[in-house]
């Protein structure tokens, strides 16, 4: 092959790549990413240079210095002599806790309200409409402050609190509950729980396979729940109940022992769940209405009961419409948790982005950590939900 022919083949190959829509899009995206990275690099370089000229120290060495402040809620051991890094870790765990609990409760509220919005019962329908319209149009920060004020001012002080049940006290300093303390051998209970979960997952898949092949509906939910609950309970009893319980007791002006759910956490949790649940309710309602009414009529014609029609026919088809906007609401709830500083809940923003920043003066580094962590959390939530979205998406041939 001559040199001219080789040159023509190369030209044709490059030209064909550029004419291909998918390849051209990838090339443009690569150049766009390179341009953005160069732009960010220039900004960082100029910032560091200007700070160095002003004599401002830049670096993350402050993370190893003592934090010298207390945190009112900790999921891991912490005291004021620990480092700023440890304080940031405590704040991160508090953020993940309220975000995770909020997502679960908001989903339950949203799906329940969304289904009831389509109910033929006039009272339930209107009540859900009022809930959705009122909640969505009040700023979430005001709702957080409202719930915090209700909890602080309506619940009794510890000395006047009475037990709801043995070891459970509701006060304006939090809800005090008995704390289980695992003893030697309790690890087998966790293993039994894991085995129960694995069994429930595989049995659910088996039940779906049987249903697709024969139409027979196995009680997968009940059998799975029995395995998840029953197997750990049986293991626990067989090991001689390797668990002790610490009960809260009033000592002085507050309760000691057990564990406490702080009012700041409860207010933030309730407000974010109720607020986000109102948006999820409208998403669910829209998803259900997107399913052709003929699907419901066909299910009824086959003698399928209304509750099974909703669970097995309507909801699976509606999920492909519900999931994409639902991801945005989960992300919004996680980011709205940064408003916790308004009521003194020590999350990531309040620790590393608040007190640590003020003590060290490292604004650039502290806010960079906060932004990076929230970006990472958002990407993880989005990625997990997109994986689930692909599983429920309508597959075309």
- Measured distance CA(334)–CA(337) in Å, rounded: 5
What digits encode the pLDDT tens for the residues 132-166? 999 999 999 999 999 999 999 988 888 888 888 88
Residue 192: which of 225, 222, 234 has the closest Cα? 234
Burial class (CB in 10 A: 0-12, 13-18, 19+), 301: exposed
Residue 330: which of 290, 278, 280 has the closest Cα? 280
Residue 1 pLDDT grade (very low, low, confident, very high; cuts 50, 70, 90): very low
Q: Are 345 and 339 in contact (CB under 8 A)?
A: no
Beta-carbon contacts of 65 under 8 Å, excluding residues fewer than 6 positions away, are 83, 84, 360
What digits encode the pLDDT tens for the residues 210-235? 888 887 878 888 898 999 999 999 99
Residue that is written with structure tokens 């990407």 in the block: 379
Which residue pairs, CB below 8 angstroms and at least 24 apart, start in 53-59? 58/364, 58/365, 59/365
β strands within 130-197, DSSP E: 163-165, 168-171, 174-177, 179-182
What digits encode the pLDDT tens for the residues 296-352? 888 888 888 877 788 778 888 888 889 889 999 999 999 999 999 899 899 999 999
* pTM score, whole prediction: 0.81
Residues composing the chain: 397
Q: What average pLDDT score do residues 67-86 get?
A: 89
What residues pair up with 119 in beta bridges, in sequence order? none
Residue that is written with structure tokens 């960079």 in the block: 368
């Amino acid at each position: 092959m001559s040199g001219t022919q080789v040159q023509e083949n190369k030209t044709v190959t490059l030209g064909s790549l550029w004419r291909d829509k998918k390849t051209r899009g990838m090339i443009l995206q690569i150049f766009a990413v390179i341009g953005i990275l160069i732009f960010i690099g220039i900004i960082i370089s100029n910032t560091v240079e200007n700070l160095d000229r002003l004599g401002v120290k830049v670096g993350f060495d402050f993370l190893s210095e003592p934090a010298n402040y207390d945190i009112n809620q900790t999921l891991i051991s912490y005291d004021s002599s620990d480092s700023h890094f440890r304080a940031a870790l405590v704040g991160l765990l508090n953020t993940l806790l309220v975000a995770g609990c909020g997502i679960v409760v908001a989903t339950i509220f949203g799906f329940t309200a969304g289904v009831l919005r389509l109910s033929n019962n006039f009272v339930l329908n209107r009540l859900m409409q009022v809930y959705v319209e009122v909640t969505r149009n009040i700023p979430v920060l005001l709702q957080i402050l409202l719930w915090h004020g209700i909890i602080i001012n309506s619940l009794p002080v510890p000395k006047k609190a009475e037990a709801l049940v043995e070891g459970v006290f509701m006060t304006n300093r939090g809800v005090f509950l008995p704390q289980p303390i695992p003893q030697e051998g309790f690890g087998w209970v966790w293993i039994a729980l894991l085995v129960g979960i694995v069994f429930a997952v595989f049995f659910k898949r088996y039940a779906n396979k049987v249903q697709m092949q024969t139409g027979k509906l196995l009680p997968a939910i009940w059998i799975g729940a029995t395995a998840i609950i029953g197997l750990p309970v049986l293991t626990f009893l067989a090991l001689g109940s390797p668990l002790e319980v610490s009960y809260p007791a009033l000592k002085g002006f507050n309760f000691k022992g057990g564990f406490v759910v702080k009012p700041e956490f409860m207010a933030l949790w309730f407000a974010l769940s109720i607020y986000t649940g109102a948006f999820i309710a409208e998403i669910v309602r829209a998803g259900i209405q997107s399913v052709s009414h003929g699907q419901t009529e066909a299910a009824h014609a086959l003698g399928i009961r209304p509750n099974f029609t909703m669970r097995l026919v309507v909801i699976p088809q509606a999920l492909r419409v519900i999931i994409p906007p639902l991801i945005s609401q989960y992300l919004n709830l996680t980011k709205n948790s940064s408003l916790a500083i308004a009521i003194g809940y020590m999350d990531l923003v309040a620790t590393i982005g608040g007190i640590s920043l003020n003590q060290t003066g490292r604004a650039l580094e502290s806010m960079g950590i906060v932004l990076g962590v929230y970006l990472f959390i958002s990407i993880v939530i989005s990625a997990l939900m997109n994986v689930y979205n692909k599983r429920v998406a309508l597959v075309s041939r």
